[in-house]
Amino acid sequence: MEIPAIVGAGLVVIGAGIGIGRIGGSAMEAIARQPEATNKIQTAMLIAAALIEGIGFAALFAVG
């Protein structure tokens, strides 16, 4: 693996981590504002996090 590929893989992991962290934080804020919508918020959060993680894995496998 060459240096640019390693840097690219690192950026993918960092970006996915930041994205999932922001989703989790925003979901917690939304649940604090509207506790009755917890199930809908959690479902949307999990779907979005899974999509981000899937893109991250695809990018890592493409680099490797």
pLDDT (tens digit, 9 = 90+) per residue, 24-58?
A: 999 999 999 999 999 999 999 999 999 999 998 98
Phi, then psi, of 35 in degrees rounded to 5: -60, -25
What are the structural domains, with CATH classification, of the chain?
A: 7-63 (1.20.20.10)
Check residue 59 and give its pLDDT.
Answer: 85
Mean pLDDT of the chain: 92
CA 24 to chain centre: 9
Check residue 26 and give its pLDDT.
Answer: 97
Check residue 6 and give its pLDDT.
Answer: 87
DSSP string for residues in the chain: --HHHHHHHHHHHHHHHHHHHHHHHHHHHHHHH-GGGHHHHHHHHHHHHHHHHHHHHHHHHHH-
